[in-house]
Structure 1
Amino acid sequence: MRRKTVLRARVSAMLVAGGLAAAAFIPTATATTSGADSASDSASTSAAAKPASDALLSAMQRDLGLTKKQATVRLAAEKKATAAQDDARRAAGASYGGSWFDTERNTLAVAVTDEAKADAVRKTGASVRVVEHSAKRLAATMKKIDKLSVPAGVSSWQVDDRTNRVVVNVVDSKESDDDVRAFVADARESGPVTVAKVAEAPRTTAAGTVGGDPYYTGNVRCSIGFSVHGGFVTAGHCGPKGQAVNGWDRSRIGEFQGSTFPGNDYAWVNVANGWWTEPVVLGWGTVSDQLVRGSKEAPIGASICRSGSTTHWHCGNIQAKNVTVNYSQGPVYSMTQTSVCAEGGDSGGSYISGDQAQGITSGGSGNCSSGGTTFFQPLNPVLSKYGLTLHTA
């Protein structure tokens, strides 16, 4: 990298050069404050190691409406819930109906169709809810809907573990359109489906060239995602395979080595020409730069933060997984929905929960003034697809 890049403010130069410009997604910010100040929670706080930096805790206080104590307790509880997910699912067996982080109780909640499995699931530390439909049944419903022809008035659809149904999201102003009504009717025939309204359709979050710590593909600015050995991952809609990539200072970084959009929304770029990678997510001065130590998937309901080249650092909650998002370019499958804000240029940025990498910003609706809903491409399938290894601290 050129000397002037090295001399740039450390908060952006090293990290962008490292292939990790930030994390970004779009939220409908929902804050939960109840249940975090009990005596048992206090005990767990003192017993557990400090889960995050003071700056990260401050960001959670700002965006989730938590006290510092509540944020500390919640991160510790989320870490425990994340570790318990696999054991709880195995304990539930074929009766598994989904799971999420219960922000009221600060525990992992698991849905089961067979009450006889409840005790085994509780032994993993999770709470239990008995439901009608298994996760397998809901996934089959999703696959059937994914095969339908989708009108523009349908925003997305996903499994809602909490309600034990597939939710089809329809743009409010398009609800009465004949093609939307026909899609909803066909979706209901696929299985347990409910319909929800959204204010607007999702859009990708790429933008024209603006200042900041981005990368550029021609006349488009996106955000660097997570560093991998030899490069970084980002959003597929930011550029096709072979597209040249320049850094914040317009010096050459590398090229897109692989890219998919729609269907999926992921890509990876090689790092060369004097650039290097760092296992860091940029805090933009709002929080300390965050070290990446792994990519263990957080449960639904867990807090999550992101940093992007437009709107910098924001936090929210994981709202749903396995969401199909209907962009104007076509559906993208297996996305995760969050309540964090993002805007144009944040595409490709990182979502992180604690010190665990979660995914790559794709798009959404709303903005960081009024709030919104964003979607990210989960990280681990991207690493697997391209045979990449996450750069960790």
Structure 2
Amino acid sequence: MSHKRIPKRKAAIAVGSVAALGAAALLLPHANASQSHGDDAAPRTFKATDVSGVANMLATQLGDAFAGSYYDAAKKQLVINVVGNNSNVVNQIEQAGAVAHQVQNSTSALQAAAKTLKADATIPGTAWAVDPKTNQIQVTADSTVTGGKWNTVESTVKNLGSGVATLKKSSGTFKTFVDGGDAIFGGNVRCSLGFNVTAGDGTPAFLTAGHCGVAAAKWSDSQTGASIATVDQATFPGNGDFALVKYDDPATQTNSAVNVGNGQSVQINAAVDATVGTQVFRMGSTTGLHNGNVTGLDATVNYPEGTVTGLIQTDVCAEAGDSGGSLFTQDGGAVGLTSGGSGDCTAGGETFFQPVTTALAAVGATLGAGDAGAGAGAGAADPSASAGGAADPSASAGGAADPSAGASDAAGAGDQAGGAADQSGAAGDQSGAAGDQSGAGMNGSGVVATP
């Protein structure tokens, strides 16, 4: 398949073909649904993009009584965990339209437990996050954690005490999704473009995964094409997995739209914080469009290249080549950038994402061209379009939120560039697959032109 050079006047993001078009039928079916308001103290129904603001407000108001929150997708309600039975605290929660849920473990207790895990169980192939639905830390060990390593993790979890943490085994292996059929190319590495942004100095740019940014400085829209963008900042491993890549042509207009294939795209309206329990969609050029639920916040993942903190955990599948791709809500909220995980889109697994809000703040960028009304290149997604079977939006996953943020000392970002590049050794042999997967509206690249 031939590749065209990206038009330099306008660009709307696109991160691959749609391998699971069923999910497209779910996009934006209730984007304009209004919240129902009853009595001030009665539970309200919330849109997924609204709950994080209310939860953050209550966290500030309640102080030490606040022990996490999650979204009950079935009832569309925000649940606030509280320690103790203070009637004033309960009243504040109910007046905000949320539901109070009394729990045993305080936020500070879970933070202390997470610090113990970091000190005693930072082993490649492990991850942990706090599940607000069970009020416990959920620890996961992949298939490489065996023998003495497994015994260490198991004993650390047990020593945290009863009701504090649970341990489960993953059949896959935690890895970054850097190699495969991708939409943007940097040397021997391929990744997916996440969201178009405007850098702090006003120049056009995009966000992608940090492990892509440390692996290559120059990025193209085809494997053999000339550079169209250059890495400006990259973080990996450590406190995040994100990179700011500036377009080489300053005339490029960075519209905010995710191409979901089949000639359709979803307008991105704002960057939003993830909330446990909300439904999200992931787009990547290797596996296309898939949906699932947020199951964890501020997750710590111990990749082979080093430890990364502050990630979002989900049950949305992903595979090699999806790194950097967009995670977003049906309402058009930009949520995350694909980092890595275990499993695949056949067996499932855990997948981790860099929060967009954190990345934007760190690099000093804003979404799109600073114009929330910028048009989507391929037209808005049609919720009534038939897509060969819709995915089940009622599928619910457990929640999580790991309050243990903190940069890892395991390795420096500079030491990981070679490792990330080495992971993509087969990239050159897979160029045909990348071209074959460029979906409707694509011009063989990670960027699709607007009219």
TM-score range, shorter chain: 0.7 to 0.9
Q: Is the 8 A contact 1:23 1:360 kept in 2?
A: no
Query: Alignment partner for residue 125 of structure 1, among 48, 73, 97?
Result: 97
Query: Alignment partner for residue 298 of structure 1, among 247, 268, 274?
Result: 274
Query: Alignment partner for residue 90 of structure 1, among 35, 50, 60?
Result: 60
Query: Alignment partner for residue 78 of structure 1, among 44, 48, 67?
Result: 48
Q: Is the 8 A contact 1:87 1:124 kept in 2?
A: no
Is the partner of 2:140 in helix, strand or coil? strand
The corresponding residue for 1:233 is: 207
Q: Is the 8 A contact 2:66 2:107 kept in 1?
A: yes
Distance 2:258 2:363 in 1: 21
Matched, 1:332 2:302: no
Letter in 2 for 1:86: N
CA drift at 1:296:
2.0
Distance 1:107 1:141 in 2: 28
Query: Alignment partner for residue 363 of structure 1, among 330, 340, 352?
Result: 340
Q: Is the 8 A contact 1:60 1:315 kept in 2?
A: no
Letter in 2 for 1:122: E
Query: Alignment partner for residue 218 of structure 1, among 184, 187, 190?
Result: 187
The corresponding residue for 2:364 is: 387
**Deviation sequence 1:55-108 (CA, Å, 0-9, x none):** 9771369xxxxxx68996999632443342223323432111100101232201
Letter in 1 for 2:141: V
Is the partner of 1:372 in helix, strand or coil? coil
Letter in 1 for 2:192: S
- The structure-2 alpha-carbon separation of the partners of 1:350 and 1:198, relative to structure 1 and needing over 3 Å to count, comes to same
Q: Is the 8 A contact 1:23 1:306 kept in 2?
A: no
Matched, 1:256 2:234: no
The corresponding residue for 2:397 is: none
Letter in 2 for 1:155: T
Is the partner of 1:307 in helix, strand or coil? strand
Distance 2:144 2:230 in 1: 41
| Alignment TM-score, normalising by the size of structure 2 | 0.69
CA RMSD of aligned residues (A): 3.1
Is the partner of 1:146 in helix, strand or coil? helix
CA drift at 1:260:
1.7
Q: Is the 8 A contact 1:241 1:259 kept in 2?
A: no
The corresponding residue for 2:387 is: none
Q: Is the 8 A contact 2:15 2:193 kept in 1?
A: yes
Distance 1:185 1:23 in 2: 43
The corresponding residue for 1:136 is: 108
CA drift at 1:331:
1.6
Name the % identity: 30
Matched, 1:166 2:133: no
Distance 1:280 1:171 in 2: 35
Letter in 1 for 2:174: P
Map 1:1-393 → 2, pairs under 5 A? 4-5=4-5, 17-18=11-12, 20-22=13-15, 58-59=25-26, 77-116=47-86, 117-148=89-120, 150-152=122-124, 154-171=125-142, 174=145, 177-190=147-160, 192-208=164-180, 210=181, 214-229=183-198, 230-240=204-214, 243-248=217-222, 250-263=225-238, 264-273=240-249, 275-285=252-262, 288-353=264-329, 354-391=331-368, 393=372
Letter in 2 for 1:259: A
Q: Is the 8 A contact 1:241 1:258 kept in 2?
A: no
The corresponding residue for 1:44 is: none
Letter in 2 for 1:22: V
| Alignment TM-score, normalising by the size of structure 1 | 0.78
Q: Is the 8 A contact 1:57 1:71 kept in 2?
A: no
The corresponding residue for 1:48 is: none
Give unpaired runs (5+ residues) of structure 2: 36-44, 199-203, 373-451
Is the partner of 2:105 in helix, strand or coil? coil
Is the partner of 2:110 in helix, strand or coil? helix
Larger helix percent: 1
- The structure-2 alpha-carbon separation of the partners of 1:228 and 1:126, relative to structure 1 and needing over 3 Å to count, comes to same
CA drift at 1:321:
0.9
Distance 1:14 1:140 in 2: 51
Distance 2:339 2:85 in 1: 38
- The structure-2 alpha-carbon separation of the partners of 1:261 and 1:368, relative to structure 1 and needing over 3 Å to count, comes to same
Distance 1:245 1:105 in 2: 44
Letter in 1 for 2:267: L
